[in-house]
Amino acid sequence: MQLTFATYNIHKAVGLDRRRNPDRILAVLNEIDADVVALQEADRRIGRRESVLPLDHIEDYSPYRAVPLNHRPDSLGWHGNALLVRRTIQLAEAAVVPLPVIEPRGAIRADLIAGGQRFRVVGMHLDLSGLRRRQQLRAILAHLARCDHHCPTVVMGDCNEWSVRRGALGEFAAPWRVLAPGRSFPARQPIARFDRIALSAEWTVAEAQVHHSALAARASDHLPVWARLELPKI
């Protein structure tokens, strides 16, 4: 089974032209055509924390549905983190992953089923502080260890980590692998590999890249990254 996973900090749908344009974000997602997408900064931070991507636009202009978390009626996710999945993929369960935080950060998990295979996805947005990032990754890994079902897992998001080989992402000890597909921030002239994808041992990497189209270069301050992954037949 082959699936494509993408992570994208959409900057509340505000592009480099300082315009909020949710349909432009959806157009970028349609360019990538991933099966599962982790979004960061998908909700407004104040007031009712409404989603910046209207649910009816997601339904009308993309192949996705949002993983429901049912914490705030107007939000797409939790602390701006959201998961979109292709409608042909079945949702088994979803949960918020509590993180130690100073600034508004978070993580969410979904267990999904495709082709008869259960797999797990975590979307996350980590802190600017290296120490806090380590604590947050430990919390995510502890949460995964407590899950009832063992299954192939993908953890992805905006890690705010400058180091490619060291830093907080060292919490992903073997057999975990951390992909850094390329420079994704800032979008206009990317220099940092903030957006990462971590894999459990079951996955094989077919391809991993930064999506650097003309539209993506102005839709947000981050570029999306993606990986095409394979699982052996069960």
Would you state the torsion angle of the CA atoms of residues 199, 148, 107, 6, taken in this order, to the nearest 10 degrees?
A: 40
Q: What are phi and psi of 138, to 5 degrees?
A: -60, -40
Would you state the torsion angle of the CA atoms of residues 130, 119, 35, 38, taken in this order, to the nearest 10 degrees?
A: -20
DSSP-derived secondary structure for 44-78: -SSTT--BSS-HHHHHHHSSEEEPP--SSTT-SSB
Q: Which two tokens mark 200?
A: 């459990």
Give me the CATH number covering residue 101.
3.60.10.10
| Whole-prediction pTM | 0.95
Whether residue 182 contacts residue 7, with contact meaning beta carbons closer than 8 Å, is answered with no
- Residues linked to residue 124 through DSSP beta bridges, in sequence order: 107, 157
- Which range of residues forms the domain containing residue 67? 2-230
Q: What is the side-by-side order of every strand in the sheet holding 195-199?
A: 90-97, 106-114, 117-125, 153-158, 195-199, 177-179
Q: What are phi and psi of 152, to 5 degrees?
A: -55, 140
Whether residue 27 contacts residue 58, with contact meaning beta carbons closer than 8 Å, is answered with no
The structural domain count of the chain equals: 1
The one-digit pLDDT tens for each residue of the chain (234 residues) are 999 999 999 999 999 999 999 999 999 999 999 999 999 999 876 656 788 998 889 989 999 999 998 666 677 888 899 999 999 999 999 999 989 876 667 899 999 999 999 999 999 999 988 889 999 999 999 999 999 989 999 999 999 999 877 799 999 999 999 999 999 999 999 999 999 999 999 999 999 999 999 999 999 999 999 999 999 876
Whether residue 229 contacts residue 5, with contact meaning beta carbons closer than 8 Å, is answered with yes
Rounded Cα distance between 71 and 178, Å, is 30
